[in-house]
Structure 1
Amino acid sequence: MYNTANEIIEVCKEKNCHIYDLVLVEEMKNSKKSDAEIYAQLIEIINVMEASAIENLEKSNTTNFGMTDGFSKMFFDYQKEKEPLVGKFLVRTMARAFSTAEVNDQMGKIVAAPTAGSAGIMPATIVSAKEKYGFDDETVAKGLLTSIAIGQIIAKYATFAGAEGGCQAECGSASAMAASALVTMAGGTPEQALHAASITLVNVLGLVCDPIAGLVKYPCTFRNASGVMNAFISADMALAGITSIVPFDEVAQAMGEVGRSLHESLRETGIGGLAGTKTGQRIREEFLGKNK
């Protein structure tokens, strides 16, 4: 894949194509599969994402420490009964992010895009966009292909691992990928998809990874929900013509540098941040005691 945002934009202009076209060609070359086979695989992924995003909307799960119990159903019920401050659509979207996070808690089937800790963001984005705009699977698949390019640049210059780069690398990366997918599905340009990804990462630069007891539950679940919001607002900014003065590849490099500078207690060790609070330490001690 290409190394910089400018390279991608120039090639897309030269070939009169979109980012998803470039990714598709590369995937065909690497996998030795046809475009039809690749699209069929993408639709399988979409189906898993959709299933996880709706599984817990109508039921409540329970966990040992009550960190994420029933948030999906609670939020979904809330928008049915009242007019939320941010509107029904966005609350439904966040409820879907909670749903996949809860499915993950239950060891259910999810798509880690790009990680399990951030797995609620892409599914909630896809299901909600399909609901609102009636996108078909091919349009969504093109969005996913675009998000792959965003992920490749992040992988080149930074990381997806909270243990290496904080939650900016997990929920931040997932949100950037989702924002680029949204722009693509909405008919935006390659430049707009890259700007949306840039804006998304800028919004969470420096976000630490501090899960209580080292479990991918709290605060991960909340960051999945807010990550979806980040993706939608960043996509809207880009589609409106708002740009990021720093190109996406440079934003990814900055994220990598910030991640490396974070203290180890703020990188998925379950020691600092929220994990280091009195409540966080109490839960950690109880969890470790129960699992000795």
Structure 2
Amino acid sequence: MGVLFNSFEEWKKECEGKGLPLFQAVLDFEVNQKGKKEEDIWAGLDEAYQVMKEAVQSGLKEEMNSYSGMINNGAKKVMNFPKTVLSPEFQKLVARALAAKEVNSCMGRVVAAPTAGASGILPGTMVTLQEIHDISDRKIYEALLIGAGVALILEKRASIAGAVGGCQAETGSAAAMASAGITYCLGGSNDQIFNAVAITIQCMLGLVCDPVAGLVEIPCVVRNASAAAIANSSAQIALADVSPVIPVDECVDAMGEVGQSMEARYKETAQGGLAATPTGRAISKRVLIQDIEVLEDEDGED
């Protein structure tokens, strides 16, 4: 089988029929279909999570200034701002999601989960969740496996690429992975975990991919923070047993349909949305000129 399951319903039936937790099916898939050893999978999850935590720390401690000038230590500014909108925990969540994504925008080391453009969402949510609820690393790794299963189905039925389905496919998919993981870590049932995914997709549906100057910086970085917040709100709603009404597989199909009907200028081409604003075009022109000057300097050195 090319993917784990073709639907969330299939995943649920498989696990409940065999009395397995959701993460075990993903683990078995990695072992049986990809020929990996179980201990290597856990070791890989440990390494990935350490990189996520390092990205959060780097973004909050090191200078984060991108070549374009659009990224300028935003995460540190949020973390150190003296007034909290909701709570210190919410402030940390936002700052950490920003931090990990800023590391990506400044060419640092991140985990593409599921893509580099959405690489701040799982670090921001998982690190904050673990800190608040004192969750074990092992439980986080199990949540990451569930997130991987979510991504595999989203990729099969819709897309996880901005160039195919817009930003709903990138930050939307990452937020869905995170909301599933949060719900699992806090004791949610299989239905609640998948309801969290459905609610997240409903909240992110239709989001376009419109990177200014074609760079994965603006609005990508701030969208990682907002997606992290949506992941938490979706988990909170699902844990309270509030129904999404539309089943998760139908939500995923709707995301795929929206992505297919989205015009090309809203799919990572930098031809529409924020990228097409006067300021967006001016930034694009300035970045292009800088690139040309760099190439000319390199030619001169030769």
**TM-score category, normalised to shorter length:** over 0.9
Match of 2:36 among 33, 37, 44: 33
Identity of counterpart residues, as a percentage?
38
Q: Residue 85 of structure 2 contacts residue 91 of structure 2 at CA under 8 Å; is this kept in 1?
A: no
Say which one has the larger Rg: 2
CA distance in 1, matches of 2:91, 2:109: 23
Residue type of the alignment partner of 2:47:
E
For 2:131, what is the secondary structure of its paired residue? Answer: helix
Whether the aligned pair in 2 keeps the contact of 1:60 and 1:72 (CA below 8 Å) is: no
d(CA) in 1 for partners of 2:248, 2:69: 38
What TM-score, normalized by structure 1, do the two folds share?
0.96
Post-superposition CA distance 1:199-256 (Å, at most 9, x none)? 0010010000001000000000110000000100001111110122222222111111
Residue 183, structure 1, aligned to residue 186, structure 2 = no
In 2, the alpha carbon distance for the partners of 1:209 and 1:33 equals 35
Look up the SS of the partner of 1:291 in the other structure.
Answer: helix
| TM-score normalised over the length of structure 2 | 0.93
Q: Number of matched residues?
A: 289
Cα deviations across residues 43-102 of structure 1 (Å, max 9, x unaligned)?
111100111012121344223443221111001101xx33x1221111101101111111
* Corresponding residue number in structure 1 for 2:272: 272
The answer to whether the 8 Å contact 1:60/1:73 transfers is no
Q: Is 1:12 paired with 2:15?
A: yes
After superposition, the CA RMSD in angstroms is 1.2
Corresponding residue number in structure 1 for 2:46: 43
Determine the C-alpha separation between the residues in 1 that align with 2:205 and 2:167. 9
1:192 matched residue in structure 2: 192
Instruction: Return the letter of the residue paired with 2:163.
Output: A
Which runs of no fewer than 5 residues in structure 1 stay unpaired?
none
Q: For residues 246 and 281 of structure 1, do their structure 2 counterparts lie closer, same or farther at Cα, with a shift above 3 Å needed?
A: same
Tell me, yes or no, if the aligned pair for 2:121 and 2:227 is still in contact at 8 Å.
yes
Tell me the distance in 1 between the aligned counterparts of 2:67 and 2:14: 52
**1:82-161 counterparts in 2 under 5 A?**
82=83, 84-161=84-161
Question: Which segments of structure 1 move beyond 6 Å, counting only runs of 4 or more?
Answer: none
Residue 111 of structure 1: how far off its partner (Å) = 0.2
| Aligned 8 A contact 1:154 1:249 in 2 | no
Task: Give the Cα separation in 1 of the matches to 2:74 and 2:118.
Answer: 16
Which residue in the other structure is 2:239 paired with? 239
Shift of 1:5: 2.2
Contact 1:98 1:224 in 2 (8 A): yes
1:72 is aligned to 75
8 A Cα contact 1:104 1:110, kept in partner:
yes
**Counterparts of 1:164 and 1:34, CA distance in 2:** 33
